[in-house]
Amino acid sequence: MALKLLLVGASVGEHFNRRFRHEAENAAKLQHPNIVQVFGEGEHDGRPYFSMEYIAGPDLARQLREQPPSIKQAVEYVKTLARAVAYAHQRGVLHLDFDKF
């Protein structure tokens, strides 16, 4: 199991904390092979967190920096990501990080 903890907690305001909890609750409803399973959410010392499936292996960002993929592999990564995002969007779930684009 892994934990995602909002380190800034209450200092970012209740609106952001509520969005973080809402993301966790919605993500917990998703069952897809390319989306990490979220088990639950809570709060510790005023900081929201959620527990999720632990995925062993290298960090994709580091792997891409150290050994850039071939065009074919990059296309496969994008297709996999697009399918997972489409699955979530079809269920009304938008990841918090995607609203920055």
Tens of pLDDT, residues 9-57? 555 677 777 878 888 888 888 999 999 999 988 888 878 888 999 999 8
CATH of the domain at 10: 1.10.510.10
The domain of 61 spans 2-100
Active site (annotated) includes residue 45? no
Strands of the 38-44 sheet, one edge to the other: 2-5, 47-52, 38-44
Taking the model in full, what pTM does it have?
A: 0.73
Tell me what pLDDT residue 54 has.
93
Mean pLDDT of the chain: 85
Alpha-carbon span 101 to 22, nearest angstrom? 20
Count of structural domains, the chain: 1
Query: CA 44, 50, 55, 60: dihedral to nearest 10 degrees?
Result: -100
